[in-house]
Amino acid sequence: MNTETTRETDTRPDPLVLGDRTFRSRLLVGTGKYSDHETMNAALAASGCEVVTVAIRRVDLSSEDNLLTHLDRDRYFLLPNTAGCFNAEDAIRVCHLSRELGLGDWVKLEVLGDKQTLLPDPIGTLDACKTLVAEGFKVLVYSSDDPVMALRLQDAGATSVMPAGSPIGSGQGILNRNNLAIILEQLDVPVIIDAGVGTASDVTIAMELGAEGVLLNTGIAGAQDPISMAHAMRHALDAGWYAARAGRIPRRRYAQASSPTEGVLGE
Amino acid sequence: MIEVLLNGAAHQLASGSTVSSLLDQLPIEPTAVAVERNRQIVPRSLHSSTVIEVGDHLEVVTIVGGG
């Protein structure tokens, strides 16, 4: 038996290292928009994720229901986001509340600039990132796919820069491979592609480009069968991770026979 | 009774209420929330000793699903 082959088929992608933490999965999954908590938990399990994002909102004064009672804190690392914040001050406020909620110092920073596109406000994002890093937060920053902005966020001390593949919830996948490839080449901190993923192949493309991980929510939660899609996303991520390290063949304009050209019958 | 603004809406409370006594009246577990009073976080350790005043702006937040 070829032991090398056996070993290879048993491996999983290397764990994801962010700051001083190591995570078993490179897929980070949101907890929004599921039809019910059961479906959410089944989808999270099928995705194999460890990091799950959550939002912070005013308590519904008429309901006992709380997401915290539905998430296994031993299994999942909760990463609070600042979704819905349109300036640095509000985002920082949410991070302080998150700390008070006992969620620790890790945050997914989003400072949005426009309600229709939900694209990030680069100036507010950078300001908030600087302040939060100075306050000891580990900041995973949602960004546009602008390489210069990504560098600025790295310089500001971001633990991870997370450029969007395409607008949040749009399902358009990876729109600017060139910019993402530049970001991946230029940054030293881990880059996670966040937002826009519509289906499994988008995750594979992101990983083939060299991303350290992918963060998504609607792509799973909004699918007709979220559990099957979560399963697909997990394997798509693994596929992309291996492909990125396998050294793909170059693209050619013309065909190149894969069977021997010698000894063909009738020649 | 006193009136405060709780999560953006008018809310009646017994005078002398503390943050703890307010949270006890809400359906959610007090351990699952964070509280701001007039834009300042009230740490959990101070919930029982923080008396709510007329006109206070209170925010009680928790985690919800999000991406």
Of A64, A103, A216, the CB nearest to B27: A64
How far apart (Å, rounded) are the C-alpha atoms in residues A26 and A190? Answer: 11
Angle between helix axes A122-134 and A88-100 (nearest 10 degrees) is 40
Say yes or no for a CB contact (<8 Å) between A57 and B64: yes
pLDDT at A208 over 90: yes
Å from A109 to nearest chain B CA? 11
Say yes or no for a CB contact (<8 Å) between B67 and A32: yes
Decide if A103 touches B, using CB distance below 8 A: yes
pLDDT at B8 over 80: yes
For residue A10, what pLDDT band results from cuts at 50, 70 and 90? Answer: low
pLDDT at A7 over 60: no
Would the ipTM clear 0.90, i.e. be above it? Answer: yes
Say yes or no for a CB contact (<8 Å) between A32 and B60: no
The DSSP result for A30-81, as a single string, is E--S-SSHHHHHHHHHHHT-SEEEEEEEE--TT----GGGGS-TTT-EEEEB
pLDDT at A2 over 60: no
% chain A with pLDDT above 90 = 90
Residue type, B9: A
pLDDT (average), residues A175-183: 97
Decide if B43 touches A, using CB distance below 8 A: yes
